[in-house]
C-alpha cells in the first residue's frame, strides 16, 4: 500500500432505477489532500457518482466511506454535512438576501433548530469570505452580483461548512473564461491549504491543468485513474470521448493538453 491516505472510498456501488442502472459495481478510492477531476462524455455517470457521494441520490447497493470509517449512507445527515460539502451545478439563491446571510447558511450543520449563530460561527463565516475573496461584498445583496462573484459566494458558503472534502459539480459551467480560471485558481489555493477537492469537469484541458488525478468514466464504469500524464492520451480521447485529437504539452503549466485534429478541407488548411 502507498502512504497516501484515502479521503473517500467506494465499494460495489450500484446506482440507478429498477429498469436502468447508471452505475454498477463501482469501486474507487479518492486520495486525501488532492484535486481529483471526474471526466467523461455526457451520460457517463460522473455527475451521478458525485450526487451519490453527496447523498442526493441513494444507491441500490454498495458502501461509501469517508475519513476511513465513517459510513456516508448510515451516519446522520448533520454528521456527514460537517465533513463533506457540495456545490451543486445549479445553485438557487433566495431573492433579497445579503452575501453574508447566504454564506452563513454554510454553518447549518453546526447550529440548533433556530439557526442561531455563535461567536465561532461568525469567525468561520469571516474566514470563509476572506478565503473566497468576497469580504468587501459581505453586505451586498445577492441580486446585485455578477455570475463570477456569485459563484465565489457559493464557494464561501461551502467553506463556511468547514469540511475536509469539497465536491463541486461543473462549477465553471456558467462562467466566462476569465472567471473560470479565477475560480480554478481559488480551488487550487484551497487545495494547498489542505482541502480534498473532487470536481466534475467538462473542459479536459482545465482538468489536466488543475487536477492531481483524473478519474475517467464511460457508461457508468471507471475506465482509468491516474495523473494526467499517465492517463490523458490520444488513444483514451478516441476510445472514451470519440474525439480525434493530438495531445501536446501545455507550455504554460507543463501538463498534457488536447488539440482537435483538423479536417482535410477545413478553412485553416486552405488558408
Partner 1 sequence: MRVQPRIVFITLIFILLLFSLWHIGAGAIYIAPLDVFKALQSSDSEHNFIVNNFRLPRLLISGLVGAALAISGLLIQGVIRNPLASPDVLGVTSGASLAVITLAVFWPDAPTSYIPPAALIGGFSATALLLFLARHLLHRPAAFALVGIALAATFGAAIDYLLTVNPLEINTAMLWLTGSVWGRNWDHLPLIAPWLAVLMPLALLLAYRLDLLGLGDDTATSLGIGVKKLRLLCIVVAISLASAAVSVCGSIGFVGLVSPHLVRSLLGHRHLLLLPATAITGAILVISADLFARILMPPIELPAGILTAFIGAPYFIFLLCRYKNW
Which positions touch partner 1 (CB under 8 A)? 51, 54-56, 76-82, 84-86, 88, 90-97, 105-106, 108-109, 111, 113-115, 157, 161
Asked if 187 and 197 count as a contact pair (C-beta separation under 8 A), the reply is yes
Our CB check for partner 1 shows the closer of 115 and 262 to be 115
Our CB check for partner 1 shows the closer of 16 and 88 to be 88
Shortest CB 157 distance to partner 1, Å:
8
Our CB check for partner 1 shows the closer of 164 and 221 to be 164
DSSP state of 146: -
Shortest CB 135 distance to partner 1, Å:
21
Alpha-carbon torsion 116, 110, 199, 59, what sign? Answer: negative
Three cell numbers written together for 117:
449563530
Our CB check for partner 1 shows the closer of 111 and 245 to be 111
Q: Which residues pair with 29 in a beta bridge?
A: 9
Q: Which residues pair with 239 in a beta bridge?
A: none
Shortest CB 167 distance to partner 1, Å:
8
Our CB check for partner 1 shows the closer of 91 and 140 to be 91
Shortest CB 13 distance to partner 1, Å:
18
Shortest CB 76 distance to partner 1, Å:
8
What whole-number distance in Å separates Cα of residue 261 and Cα of residue 161?
A: 44
- Kindly give the pairing relationship between strand 165-169 and strand 84-87: parallel
Helices (H), the chain: 46-53, 77-81, 99-104, 119-131, 147-160, 177-192, 204-210, 228-231, 234-241, 267-270
Asked if 254 and 237 count as a contact pair (C-beta separation under 8 A), the reply is no
Amino acid at each position: 500500500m502507498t502512504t497516501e491516505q484515502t479521503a473517500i472510498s467506494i465499494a460495489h456501488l450500484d446506482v440507478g432505477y429498477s429498469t436502468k442502472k447508471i452505475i454498477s459495481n463501482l469501486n474507487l478510492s479518492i486520495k486525501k489532500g488532492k484535486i481529483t477531476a471526474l471526466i467523461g462524455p455526457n451520460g457517463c455517470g460522473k455527475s451521478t457518482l458525485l450526487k451519490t457521494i453527496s447523498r442526493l441520490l441513494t444507491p441500490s447497493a454498495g458502501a461509501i466511506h469517508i475519513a476511513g470509517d465513517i459510513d456516508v449512507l448510515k451516519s446522520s445527515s448533520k454528521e456527514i454535512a460537517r465533513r463533506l460539502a457540495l456545490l451543486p451545478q445549479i445553485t438557487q439563491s433566495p431573492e433579497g438576501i445579503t452575501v453574508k446571510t447566504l454564506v452563513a447558511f454554510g454553518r447549518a450543520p453546526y447550529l440548533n433548530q433556530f439557526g442561531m449563530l455563535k461567536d465561532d460561527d461568525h469567525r468561520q463565516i469571516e474566514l470563509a469570505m476572506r478565503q473566497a475573496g468576497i469580504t468587501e461584498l459581505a453586505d451586498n445583496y445577492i441580486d446585485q452580483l455578477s455570475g463570477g462573484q456569485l459563484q465565489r459566494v457559493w464557494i464561501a458558503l461551502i467553506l463556511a461548512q468547514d469540511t475536509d472534502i469539497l465536491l463541486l459539480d461543473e462549477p465553471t459551467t456558467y462562467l466566462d473564461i476569465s472567471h473560470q480560471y479565477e475560480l480554478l485558481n481559488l480551488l487550487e489555493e484551497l487545495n494547498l491549504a489542505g482541502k480534498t477537492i473532487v470536481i466534475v469537469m467538462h473542459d479536459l484541458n482545465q482538468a489536466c491543468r488543475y487536477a492531481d488525478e483524473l478519474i475517467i468514466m464511460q457508461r457508468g464504469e471507471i475506465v482509468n485513474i491516474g495523473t494526467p500524464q499517465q492517463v490523458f492520451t490520444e488513444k483514451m480521447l478516441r476510445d472514451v470521448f470519440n474525439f480525434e485529437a493530438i495531445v501536446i504539452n501545455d507550455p504554460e503549466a507543463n501538463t498534457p493538453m488536447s488539440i482537435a485534429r483538423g479536417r482535410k478541407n477545413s478553412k485553416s488548411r486552405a488558408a
